């Protein structure tokens, strides 16, 4: 089966701009989570969506937002980009925890803010 | 808020030596997961532990979940160069947020 697809793979943006990242989960997975990965901070939880509803949110400013569509595809948006937003953004899809399958991560979008 | 601490941050071993990484949560976990991320790659799910005191093995890897469901460990016996990467634990308290530890980066010298 196809894995989690994230687009674009690489992105360079200027400070102050906004960006939208896309994630297509594994077929049948209804939960999509987003993480920010930086060398110094590890994997930081951004938010989790299930059936188009945001069920939980991490400690990120309001500039970070997301949504999920009826086909489970998800997007995240970062407005007014700052240099510190440069990171690898990972999307992960999953079945309910009771299945024991864990998260399947996409290859990520590497965002560089200059 | 919920925190998951993982130690050590780095570990250098000679090929053939054993390796262990430890994970501690500030709160009781409903389950804990382990992931491996190869350099330049993305995290890949290894295993999920759910029961208190649970021990699971995958070839040379042994995973343990503490009795209080607040700590966990991953032990690799006789490391190989293919074990190189960062190992993350990830704890869930039953909600819809999984918190990752900072990871342990394993270096294996041939």
Which chain B residues have a beta carbon less than 8 Å from that of A102? 33, 35, 45-48
Residue B64: the pLDDT is: 98
Residue A101: the pLDDT is: 83
Between CA A46 and CA A58 the distance in angstroms is: 5
Residue A20: the pLDDT is: 98
In the 8-state DSSP scheme, what is residue A85? G
Look at B97 and A58 and tell me if their CB atoms are within 8 Å. Answer: yes
Lowest mean per-residue pLDDT among A29-43, B15-29, B42-56: A29-43
Residue A1: the pLDDT is: 65
Residue to mutate among A33, A90, A99, A103, with most B CBs inside 10 A, is: A103
Give the burial string for B10-30 (b: 16+ CB within 10 Å, else e): ebebeeeeebebbbbbeeebe
Which chain A residues have a beta carbon less than 8 Å from that of B45? 101-104
Reported confidence tier of residue A82, pLDDT bands at 50, 70, 90: very high
**Shortest CA gap A33–chain B (Å):** 8
Mean pLDDT across A23-51: 91
Mean pLDDT across A85-110: 91
Lowest mean per-residue pLDDT among A90-99, A102-111, B83-92: A90-99
What is the overall mean pLDDT for chain A?
A: 93
Mean pLDDT across A55-65: 95
Between CA A55 and CA B56 the distance in angstroms is: 31
Q: Flag whether pLDDT at A41 surpasses 80.
A: no
**How is B35-72 classified by DSSP, letter by letter?**
EEE-TTS--EEEEEE-STT-EEEETTEEEEE-TTSSEE
Structure tokens at B65: 């979940």
Q: Is the peptide bond before B31 cis (omega within 30 degrees of 0)?
A: no
CA distances from B30 to A15, A19, A52, A54, B77 (A): 40, 35, 25, 21, 27
Residue A2: the pLDDT is: 77
Structure tokens at B22: 């430890």
Look at A102 and B45 and tell me if their CB atoms are within 8 Å. Answer: yes
Phi, psi of A32 (to 5 degrees): -130, 130
* B6 bridge partner residues: B23
| Torsion sign, CA atoms A70, A4, A29, A56 | negative
**pLDDT of B46-102, one tens digit each?**
999 999 999 999 999 999 999 999 999 999 999 999 999 999 999 988 777 889 999
Residue B94: the pLDDT is: 78
Mean pLDDT across A51-58: 92
Between CA B99 and CA A46 the distance in angstroms is: 10
| Torsion sign, CA atoms A13, A19, A25, A31 | positive
């Amino acid at each position: 089966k196809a894995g989690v697809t994230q687009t674009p793979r690489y992105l360079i943006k200027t400070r102050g701009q906004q960006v939208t990242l896309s994630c297509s989960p594994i077929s049948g997975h209804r939960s999509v989570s987003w993480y920010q990965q930086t060398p110094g901070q590890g994997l930081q939880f951004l938010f989790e969506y299930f059936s188009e509803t945001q069920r939980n949110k991490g400690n990120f400013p309001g500039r970070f937002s997301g949504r999920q569509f009826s086909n489970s595809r998800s997007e995240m948006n970062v407005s007014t980009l700052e240099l510190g937003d440069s990171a690898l953004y990972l999307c992960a899809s999953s079945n309910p925890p009771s299945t024991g399958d864990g998260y399947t991560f996409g290859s990520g979008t590497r965002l560089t803010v200059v | 808020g919920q925190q998951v601490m993982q130690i050590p941050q780095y570990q250098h071993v000679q090929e053939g030596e054993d390796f262990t990484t430890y994970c501690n949560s500030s709160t009781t976990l409903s389950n804990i997961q382990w992931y491996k991320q190869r350099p330049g790659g993305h995290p890949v799910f290894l295993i999920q532990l759910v029961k208190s005191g649970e021990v699971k093995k995958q070839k040379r890897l042994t995973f343990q979940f503490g009795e209080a469901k607040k700590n966990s460990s991953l032990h690799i016996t006789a490391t190989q160069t293919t074990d190189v990467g960062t190992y993350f634990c990830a704890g869930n308290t039953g909600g819809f947020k999984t918190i990752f530890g900072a990871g342990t980066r394993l270096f294996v010298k041939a």
